[in-house]
Structure 1
Amino acid sequence: MSPDYPRILHHGGADGVTGSCHRLQFAEDRGLLVDCGLFQGEDATRQDSLEQHRVNFSVDDLLAMIVTHVHIDHVGRLPYLLAAGYKGPIFCSVPSARLLPLVIEDALKIGFTRDSVLIERFLDEVESRLRQLDYKRWHILIDDSRHRVRIKLKPAGHILGSAYVEVDTLDKMTGYEQRTVFSGDLGAPYAPLLPAPRSPYRADVVVLESTYGDRQHEDRRTRRARLKAAIDRALENDGTVIIPAFSIGRTQELLYELESLIHQAKSERWRELEIIVDSPLASRFTQVYRDLKPWWDAEAHQRLRHGRHPLSFENLYTVDSHEEHQQTVDYLARSGRPAVVIAASGMATGGRVVNYLKRMIGDERHGVLFIGYQAAGTPGRDIQHYGPRGGWVELDGQRHTIRARVDSVGGYSAHADQQDLLNFLKRMRHPPSEVRLVHGEPAVQRIFKAKIEAWANEIGHDIQVSLAIE
């Protein structure tokens, strides 16, 4: 008979791909929280936004919060968490501690206030709570007469600073021990800049993301070729390639790949191609990425040794002010000068990319290239789905016919695909007896559940796979 604790509860990210927030309760009065993210896309339309994001679960019993990485769908509810009275520490990796204040500052400006005094006060509060943990080292959360609980962060390969979390719990009253692994978001192997994640040695329970649990990504050579082909078409048509990009992670990986294509280019037009990052936040993240070179992978360090600068090259331009942004949109829409524009937001739900799309999506010279996941209910998903059929998309309340070419390069997703997720389990020396799937659309979770069960049956391993939504 299994004990009542530890118990896993979900305050988001159970039946969708955003809003991740998971609780490990190891006694009635003791628990810890892993992530606390915003809901986006269709996940955010199920009820009033303020009410949906309000933290209405208990925080008094939380010993700690752990941040797996700083994407907004994993940390965006942090202001709500502190407003609800959470007083404990916020644990994260060393790179995440540098990036988190930038994300929270942006979230505050968009969703709460532009009052710089209030923002500064809140950021000071967050930074006073941050506890940086080195990768691959155990940290004891509590060790008293009732429990010993320790945590360890390991690189997840998703974005810089991302981690999966190993939690060891020992109930000293019963002697029951359990190792629980929270995957956070796992990255794809061979992603630019980041080392690939390596599986833990063992786990009893794994809370596993399943965003791409139903499909395989293209390999890196294929996706780079498709990226080049999309830009080649723009060069031929005197058009612009618009890439809706997430400010952190994919923007930097994309710049890394574009630097490589320009470095290897033989044509004059490619060597002179302008790469424009029109996102002040993305520019700030890119600067922090440059500062965090010790966490880059071996390939990136080799480029640096050869005098190349993957995130700061001659063709790269950044647009900061709103006036400069408007001028750039107008110039590219009128001039026909080929360019690549990387602009936030990644799912075209707002931000500067929308202005480019409104001006250019009706012109067949241009192209829209998606390199990341487009959640259901977002303009990005509508463009991706209806664009190849000659459909339309609603932007700022107006319909726009899609005549620009629409491409998607799945390999640049920062998420592991089905095989990578399965390998995370298969490569454990002692695989888990229980897997709980989260952070995926329900249909995808069911497909991946069957895949895990088929593997476990094949090797004769007894495993219980459950969906957090059930």
Structure 2
Amino acid sequence: MNIQFLGAAQTVTGSCYMLEANGTRFAVDCGMHQGNSEIEKRNADTEIYRPGDIAFFLVTHAHIDHTGLLPRMMREGFKGDIYCTPPTRDLMDIMLQDSAHIQEMEAEWETRKQSRFGKRKPVEPLYTMADAQSAVRRLRPVEYNAPFEPAPGIRVTYKDAGHILGSAFLEIEVTENGTPTRLVFSGDLGRPNQLIVNDPDHPARPDYLFMESTYGDRDHKDSENSRAELAEAIAYSHSHGEKVIIPAFAVERTQQVLYTLHMLWQDGKLPADMPVYIDSPLAIRATEIFRKHPRFYDDDLKAAYARGEDPLSLPNLRYTLSSQESQALNGMKGSAVIISASGMCNAGRIKHHLRHNLWRQGAAIVFVGYQGVGTPGRKIVDGAQTIRLFNEDVAVNAKVFTIGGFSAHAGQSHLLDWVGAFQHKDMEVFLVHGEEKAQTTLSEKLHERYGLTVHVPTYMEEVTLKPGRTMLTAPDESRAHPRVDWEFLLGDTEAKVAMLRQRLAGVEKRPWVEQVDIRDRVADLNREILSLLSQV
């Protein structure tokens, strides 16, 4: 049996694990790569997936970093089934179409931009709404704890991962030549006592465990502290007449924040004159899907509804569906709570809210989720003095709150305890969906505590699974991690500066108005270089 790591290998996006067993080629997840420009180029590099040869996909949950390339697979020839739980099916319906809309809009914008420079060839989107709808038609819902065989000799069981509504980890038993091999793919594993969803289940003892490691180097604050910190942020901005801006993923995180605000309202810690806006059409639709699947709630949420409460609502809750309504929030005076996407601040309406509020003393920016390397959110969390938004540097004067207790991911101790419930001396572990520091720390902990053999695969690495004889095959480094040719890049920059200097004599003979225009463009370049230097 072979497995290739096509994403979430020493990163936290693009989850995809391609398996070949019993003559069948199939994959666990197919997520979008998010991060720097080189990482995002992987989204178009679908040749390595060979979509037409894939028999089926097993999807752990609806987040775009686990599902966002499925429409691309349809576009490139995939014709099989996509298995997932019922809530995941409904959430993927809206999320994939929302993602496709973004792809189409970005391609249209880039086409217009290039047309202004005389280029006439239209930019193709990564995929279209039609591709997303094709993917949705392939979704096949399966229940928790109900084994099924998508292909001969491959038996799959979905178990509750406790991450978001409908999330699952997968137990896969592959029988080759009469010998069964048991694998577990954790997907994204939730933490105990999380709002809305149940605690994670435990799997049967596997031969191989493929486990996420997002927070492998640290634990989260508890939910009581997180609620108190959110109350502090609200009180701070309310007292200054400014806004609380909360970047939040549309699915699960927005609903968790709503639930917490409901509890603060019950405790008298959400001012009656402070409206709460959900400024994300996707989050609004996702909340309605949450209401559609009450049988997947945890006992606390079920009990709240039984008492006649609606923890996903507030007396002062407002929804902004249109872009005009969203824009109006930035001209609105007074304090408010604005929950908007994207959760890492790298796209969507949240960038506009940051542009209008990040520089305001008295405003609060509240991070309630993981911030990927290279994203604007990560830069703010790491203490950046300015952030580049819409081609201008915006000062970070707002008070920044980072509240880890909202995370839907298991922390280090949760991951170790989860493994401890089923580990055995012959089990091998592959750490995925994490950054290098988190994976190194967790690998050491797993080895120290349980004596386990732990592997940390890289992007495009392949592994042949043979109990006691696992074989790793290194990827083509030139393709997996293209080298940055700094000498060429800086030499090219210096050559262009030399050309500019040579032409200055001619520039000085031009009319004064033209000279000022050229001077301003050079000044813009200098500001760009200065901004770059501040980050190096």
Q: Does 1:68 align with 2:60?
A: yes
For the residue of structure 2 that corresponds to 1:351, the secondary structure is coil
1:3 is matched with which residue? none
Cα deviation per residue 1:98-124 (whole Å; 9 max; x = unaligned)? 111111101111114699xx9564344
Offset of residue 260 of structure 1: 0.9
CA distance in 2, matches of 1:431, 1:106: 45
Q: Does 1:18 align with 2:13?
A: yes
Q: Does 1:384 align with 2:381?
A: yes
Structure 1, unpaired ranges of 5+: 1-5, 458-462
Cα deviation per residue 1:256-276 (whole Å; 9 max; x = unaligned)? 1111110121x6x62343111
Q: Does 1:135 align with 2:132?
A: no
For the residue of structure 1 that corresponds to 2:330, the secondary structure is helix
Structure 2, unpaired ranges of 5+: 109-126, 459-473, 475-536
CA distance in 2, matches of 1:47, 1:136: 35
2:235 is matched with which residue? 232
Answer yes or no: is the 8 Å Cα contact 1:242–1:367 preserved in 2.
yes
For the residue of structure 2 that corresponds to 1:232, the secondary structure is helix
For the residue of structure 1 that corresponds to 2:258, the secondary structure is helix
Offset of residue 48 of structure 1: 3.5
CA distance in 2, matches of 1:301, 1:452: 36
Answer yes or no: is the 8 Å Cα contact 1:201–1:429 preserved in 2.
no
Match of 1:359 among 356, 359, 365: 356
CA distance in 2, matches of 1:215, 1:41: 22
For the residue of structure 1 that corresponds to 2:311, the secondary structure is coil
For the residue of structure 2 that corresponds to 1:436, the secondary structure is strand
**One-letter code of the match for 2:390?**
D
CA distance in 2, matches of 1:378, 1:414: 19
**One-letter code of the match for 2:291?**
R
Aligned length: 440
Q: Does 1:302 align with 2:299?
A: no
CA distance in 2, matches of 1:102, 1:39: 19
Q: Does 1:196 align with 2:199?
A: yes
CA distance in 1, matches of 2:81, 2:293: 23
For the residue of structure 1 that corresponds to 2:98, the secondary structure is helix
For the residue of structure 1 that corresponds to 2:80, the secondary structure is coil
Match of 1:341 among 338, 341, 347: 338
Answer yes or no: is the 8 Å Cα contact 1:187–1:415 preserved in 2.
yes
CA distance in 1, matches of 2:335, 2:425: 51
CA distance in 2, matches of 1:76, 1:47: 12
**One-letter code of the match for 2:278?**
V
Equivalent positions of 1:48-447 (< 5 A) are 48=41, 51-52=44-45, 54-112=46-104, 121-143=130-152, 148-171=153-176, 174-265=177-268, 270-331=271-332, 335=333, 337-387=334-384, 391-428=385-422, 433-447=427-441
**Share of identical aligned residues, percent?**
35
Q: What is the TM-score normalised by the length of structure 2?
A: 0.79
Match of 1:35 among 29, 43, 53: 29
CA distance in 1, matches of 2:40, 2:326: 34
CA distance in 1, matches of 2:180, 2:216: 30
Cα deviation per residue 1:330-374 (whole Å; 9 max; x = unaligned)? 10xxx2x22111011111112111111111111111010100000
Cα deviation per residue 1:384-418 (whole Å; 9 max; x = unaligned)? 1125xxx1111112101111000100111111111
CA distance change for structure 1 residues 339 and 432 in 2, over 3 Å: closer, same or farther?
Answer: farther
Answer yes or no: is the 8 Å Cα contact 1:202–1:431 preserved in 2.
no
CA distance in 1, matches of 2:435, 2:394: 28
**One-letter code of the match for 2:357?**
M
For the residue of structure 1 that corresponds to 2:430, the secondary structure is strand
CA distance in 1, matches of 2:345, 2:70: 23
CA distance change for structure 1 residues 313 and 431 in 2, over 3 Å: closer, same or farther?
Answer: farther
CA distance in 1, matches of 2:241, 2:178: 69
Offset of residue 434 of structure 1: 0.5
For the residue of structure 2 that corresponds to 1:45, the secondary structure is helix
2:453 is matched with which residue? 464
CA distance change for structure 1 residues 83 and 123 in 2, over 3 Å: closer, same or farther?
Answer: closer
1:460 is matched with which residue? none
Offset of residue 55 of structure 1: 4.3
For the residue of structure 2 that corresponds to 1:56, the secondary structure is helix
Bigger Cα Rg? 2
CA distance in 1, matches of 2:422, 2:383: 41
CA distance in 2, matches of 1:350, 1:66: 28
Answer yes or no: is the 8 Å Cα contact 1:436–1:468 preserved in 2.
yes
